[in-house]
Amino acid sequence: RHELAVKAARRRARRTEAIGQGPHTRKKQYHSLLAPPQHQQIETSSPTVSANMGATLDKFMTIEEVPEEWRSLDVTVGGPIDAGTFCDNGVRTYKYNLVNFFPKSMFEQMRRTANQYFLLICIMMFLGTYTTWFYSPLTPWSTFLPLMIILLVTMAKEGFEDVKRHQSDKRVNNCDATILSVDPGDAPGTVQTLRRKDLRPGHVVVIGDREEIPADLILLWSSEGPQAYVETSNIDGETNLKIKKPALIDDEPIIQSPETAKNTQLSSTFEPPCGRVHTFEGTLKANEQSIPLDATQFLLRGSTLRNTKKALGVVAYTGRDTRLVRNSRDVPSKLSELERVVNMMVYFILFAMIIITTISMIAYVVWFSGHKAHLWYMCYRYNSADVPALFRENCESSDNYAPGSTWPTFFILYNNFVPISLYVTIEMINYVQASYIDNDLEMYDDEDDVPALARTSNMNADLGMIAHIFSDKTGTLTRNIMEFKKCACAGQIYEKGATLRGKVASSSVERDLVEIMAVCHTVVPDEDGYQAESPDEEALVKGAAELGMKFTARSTEGVEVDGKRYLVLATIPFNSTRKRMSALVQGPDGKARILCKGADNIMFGLTGKDSFKRFAGGRPALDDCLQQFSRVGLRTLVLGRRDVSRSEKDKFLKAWRAAETATEDRKGKLAEAAALIERDFEIVGATAIEDRLQDGVPETIHELAKAEIKLWVLTGDKVETAINIAKSAKLLTDDMFLVKLPAEGATKGPEGDWGLGAQLTALEAVVQRAATPDPAAVSARSSLQESTLREPLDDDPQRTPASLASDHLALVVEGATAMETILGNEELEQRFLKLANVCKAVVACRVSPAQKRLIVGLVRRKDTTRPVTLAIGDGANDVGMIQEAHIGVGISGKEGRQAVNNSDFAIGQFRFLKPLLLKHGRRNYRRMSKVIVYSFFKNIVLTFVLFYYQADCGWSGTSFYEAWVYSGFNFFLAFTPLAFGWFDVDTSAETVRKYPRLYAAGLHRMDLNVTNMAYATLEAVGASLLIYFVTRQVYWRPQNVWAHRGKDGDLWVFGTAVFVGMVNAMLLRAALLVDSWNKYHVYFFILQFIALYTFIMFMSEVWPTRSVDWFLDYDYYGVAFHSFELGVYWLLTFILVPVACAALQLLVVGVHLEFFPNVNDIGRELDHGHVDGESLEHSRRGAFVPLRSKYSLHGLVDRCLGRPAQQKPDLVTQDSIRSVSDSLGPGRAAQIGLAATPESGFDYSHAADQSFHAPSPVSASGVI
């Protein structure tokens, strides 16, 4: 995306220079959530751009770019317009047309490595068949046609989807739009209707109530006077109404009505097209006066006019230039972890294929050298005197191939090493698995009528491999339904009630606080109550109404509270950088005041010498009140005000109006103007708002923790608020010790790192000391370990044995200090990750949206264990981390649908994350792993059988499979993988809910990794040896075994017997792999038998006439009849070969289950009630699980070998931490940021299911 931006900048620079103007450059800082990581670079060959841009992106993606020129538009209302070079208003979302569909779609398909591979094989087959370069043992059509079918099916799917885009575009573009007539002869106020795609800049559009705005407009007139209301849910998902103001001259609209608008002269200059939906800059000239334009006069295409009967707006941008289209972007393409592993396996298989191809060629050369003298009948040394003349004549006209040409021959022969149907099978399985998620009633939110939605089907299996979850707090863990609960005023804390209401009724500081709540906001009243841009504002306005100051009306001039009118002279809006909102108002008493509300750390920085004189006890008392609010998990805002003199008011308004009309650096000038008046606030108090936890959050977090998934909570709240919410949500428990970065009381220091370097060094030493095993504990553990099974996770090769972990450490990190220092510092990043991996949970406070994205990217890219990450959120500020994580989950919440629109999966509540991961994720991972390993297994068997046959045919590269039968191998075994992926259930959902640790199957990559693939390859080699040589021994005396009515066995009879026996063996293997049978499995197996025998009989019993001789082989005619009439054939292919392979499979499975069982095997035994002993232990303290009787075979082997299975010292226990803390002393522990979790004064779990009961933890005593 950034490369395209740079290319566009180059084109603009060249165009600007061509007309004789210097390339006007502007420095732009990308704070976008979608900005790529800082290590990415932009390279350009343009000297002008590169001189200003530089070669490397800095931390905030600062680059020099050449923007488009500002646009100028001159309009005479009711007169003809000059569209100039502007684009039309049509929207095109389709990808293909009739001309480019085939080449462009084919190009897209060829981007897949497997398709490229099989296309290369087809080309080699054609060259080997129709040239004399080398010999192709297979007809090219046997691979080319299946490949074309696969490509055409996929292309047809894309074409069908694109047709729907064409139809959607046609419907949108042909919708009616109403404009003021552009015919000078029409009467004033006359309207005309045209298609939406025919709108051009300069048209004056008439919009009615609840009509969608057809293009980006500048608002000229509203039937509601100096204001209009729009809803932008189609753009950002927010359903709250937003106030818009028409362009005004002396507080009057330029146009008084549609009837008087004719012949009005308008001249506007505004910014070039861009994707920013919340800002707009421009200037409108009318009646020789300039009017500043900003976002309040700008109506976005796609938004809807509400609570306004009619409005007029002049078109500014059309079609692809509109904000909606410019802002439209695809969710970043993500390669699933499963696809990455499959690619590794493909490379592994290709490497093995190259090896056996080379071995075959070498064997051919060696064999040929030793037998060349006896091969005159194959045209070798046919010029010898003893060779008959007939052979000499035939050989002189035959093809001769060089010995080296056998390498491509063998490469073609072994092409089925990679299953051609694998990717199609995976796509079909992914589609059905996604439908399971979409239709799961367990994840249906009946309260808001929101079902689960799989927006990206290729990430289904990755849901079973999640190691880290990054969660927003507000609206994700909490309900985002705010309620005003308390306030701090005059040194006291007031509950919402009669006492506070009585104080507000009189003239007091309490009244001043509630006045700010009722006046300083952007809330709009409507028939249903209030429409607010954020739930906090709505809660404060409702709270003020309950306390006797009810907000009742809003106009462009001001607001009305309890019948009293407040003139709003200027509003300085809230944003994530300012973290405050201010309003300059003139009260009923005629005095001008600046009212402000914001985060405490921001407001305290805007105070003066006597700012706390009205708060009894001053700043310390207010800090204490804020701490009390935070301890019970309430969200806090500090409120302030100041009387403003007339001269200061006039000075500010002059600067503010000038900044609003500025055409350059408007944002900076607005900030400078705001600084003139946002100072020396008189602090009147603080508010506390409650945001309850969602239902089921504590138990969901508890179960995910038992599944060994690490949860990160990333929030902008204060440290104390975040800690207490985390305790209420059971993320932090009373037996945990907190590590705080930076330590309390830390200063920035001379190095500017808040002492983090020294603190991390000290914490690493503490963790290492705590990880040292206690000899007494080891002795006690050894007695427990006798006759028990070692922890299954320790068997996983992907797990690092020396890694440290603790269930009793939690990390709390502050964004504005610690994360600001850590991010970008390579050494601190690695040390931070090392500490975070030890801790059970991480809470990051005061983090910005950009820091959320960077934290997710840090764990995803720099954690050496390569964890699969998941980010979940509900608002626009979560989009960055949702797109950065491997898997993004959006919650359909109160903050719009931007998170959902940018996610891979969407759910209605946080609690649905449990079934999404533990049920669907684990099941999808296990199913897909089985499908992939089985698909490779059967093709390895197929290829190695051909490899063995080469030793019996002089390494000539001959296939003893008929070409079409050979190419149909994957089709004959296509339905069993589908049955695995669609229906197989290894462990019931109830068992997984009871034992969340069974999720470790995917978390530790137990089923699908290169090691397992190597083991499967070895077993496939063994199975192929049995299939080939058992059948070969039966054929060793063909005259004795196969002679029947004068017939004899040949190459095709032998090959058919091997092939059918192999297919039956693979079907039996699949049957033994099925964990849960149903009728569909039976149907699929029967269907595959029918397909196999129908195809073989067709190929061998239909006489190849001239019209189909390219398809049917003369040599194969009658083979099926000759084979099927013999009883020994059925004995061999249905019993002997399949049973031999099944015996090998059962032997391998039996040894694995008895000596090397893992957590998956334990789960199946638990599911069927076949495990004796204690149940599966979930805590990592229980590293050894007594699952079998001490008299079992594996226990006997362990005792004979003298291996009592001693535990590695990789767990940091609560006792070991307490022991180290005692040796440090309280003072030193506080210096390095180590402390016990504070007691929570408020139980947030009251909003959750009361049936949840967490296990009673052992409380950590004292503060370290």
Q: Which of 429-438, 596-605, 731-740 has the lowest mean pLDDT?
A: 731-740
Instruction: Please give the radius of gyration of the chain, using alpha carbons only, rounded to the nearest integer.
Output: 37
Contact 921, 464 (CB under 8 A): yes
Report pLDDT digits (tens) over 414-463: 988 888 888 888 888 988 999 999 999 999 988 888 899 888 778 899 99
Q: Which of 21-25, 487-491, 865-869, 913-917 has the lowest mean pLDDT?
A: 21-25
Furthest-apart CA pair in the chain: how many Å? 130
Predicted pLDDT at 401: 64
Residue type at 20 in one-letter notation:
G
* pLDDT tier for residue 1209 given thresholds of 50, 70 and 90: very low
H helices, E strands: number in the chain: 45, 40
Which residues have a Cβ under 8 Å from the Cβ of 495 and sit 6 or more positions away?
485, 486
Phi, psi of 605 (to 5 degrees): -80, -5
Residue 687's alpha-carbon distances to 267, 841, 1037, in angstroms, are: 47, 30, 96
296 alpha carbon, distance to own chain's centre: 34
What would the two tokens of residue 1098 be? 């067709």
Beta-bridge partners for 65: 26
Please compute the mean of the pLDDT values over residues 625-641 and round it to a whole number. 88
Distance CA(539)–CA(546), nearest Å, equals 11
Predicted pLDDT at 1143: 96
Q: Which of 25-29, 716-720, 759-763 has the lowest mean pLDDT?
A: 25-29
Predicted pLDDT at 311: 94
Predicted pLDDT at 1136: 94
Q: Which of 6-20, 155-169, 300-314, 688-702 has the lowest mean pLDDT?
A: 6-20
Distance CA(1117)–CA(1045), nearest Å, equals 17
Residue 909's alpha-carbon distances to 448, 868, 890, 914, 945, in angstroms, are: 10, 22, 9, 10, 53
Residue type at 629 in one-letter notation:
F
Contact 702, 910 (CB under 8 A): no
Q: Which of 326-330, 406-410, 556-560, 978-982 has the lowest mean pLDDT?
A: 326-330
Whether pLDDT at 256 is above 60: yes
Whether pLDDT at 738 is above 80: yes
What would the two tokens of residue 1145 be? 């499979």
Instruction: Please tell me which of 976-990, 997-1011, 1216-1230 the model is most confident about, judged by mean pLDDT.
Output: 976-990
Report pLDDT digits (tens) over 116-150: 888 899 999 898 888 888 888 888 888 888 888 88
Predicted pLDDT at 893: 61
Catalytic residues: 472
Which residues have a Cβ under 8 Å from the Cβ of 817 and sit 6 or more positions away?
742, 746, 748, 754
Please compute the mean of the pLDDT values over residues 666-675 and round it to a whole number. 88
What would the two tokens of residue 827 be? 């050494």
The mean of the pLDDT values for the chain is 79
Please compute the mean of the pLDDT values over residues 1061-1089 and round it to a whole number. 93
> What's the angle, vertex CA 1123, arms to CA 1117 and CA 1128, rounded to 5?
170
Whether pLDDT at 1022 is above 50: yes
Predicted pLDDT at 218: 94
Whether pLDDT at 950 is above 60: yes
892 vs 958 pLDDT, higher one:
958
Whether pLDDT at 375 is above 90: no
DSSP string, 833-873: HHHHHHSSEEEEES--HHHHHHHHHHHHHH-TT--EEEEEE
Distance CA(287)–CA(267), nearest Å, equals 10
DSSP strands (E only) in 52-190: 62-65, 71-76, 176-180
Predicted pLDDT at 581: 93
Which residues have a Cβ under 8 Å from the Cβ of 65 and sit 6 or more positions away?
5, 6, 9, 25, 26, 28, 49, 53
Predicted pLDDT at 1121: 82
Predicted pLDDT at 383: 64
Sign of torsion over alpha carbons 380, 384, 390, 395: positive
Predicted pLDDT at 709: 92
Residues in the chain: 1264
Sign of torsion over alpha carbons 460, 462, 466, 470: negative
Sole residue written with tokens 């051909």: 946
Predicted pLDDT at 624: 92
Distance CA(972)–CA(1063), nearest Å, equals 8
Whether pLDDT at 842 is above 90: yes
Please compute the mean of the pLDDT values over residues 533-553 and round it to a whole number. 89
* pLDDT tier for residue 640 given thresholds of 50, 70 and 90: very high
Report pLDDT digits (tens) over 378-400: 666 556 666 666 666 666 555 56
What would the two tokens of residue 1106 be? 């001239």
Phi, psi of 979 (to 5 degrees): -65, -40
Percent of the chain whose predicted confidence (pLDDT) is above 70: 80
Residue type at 124 in one-letter notation:
M
Phi, psi of 347 (to 5 degrees): -65, -40
Predicted pLDDT at 34: 32
What would the two tokens of residue 370 be? 């030793």
Please compute the mean of the pLDDT values over residues 706-719 and round it to a whole number. 87
795 alpha carbon, distance to own chain's centre: 30
DSSP string, 715-760: -SS-HHHHHHHHHHTTSS-TT-EEEEESPTT---TTTTSTTHHHHH
Residue 631's alpha-carbon distances to 627, 628, 810, in angstroms, are: 6, 5, 18
* pLDDT tier for residue 889 given thresholds of 50, 70 and 90: very high
Sign of torsion over alpha carbons 545, 549, 552, 556: negative
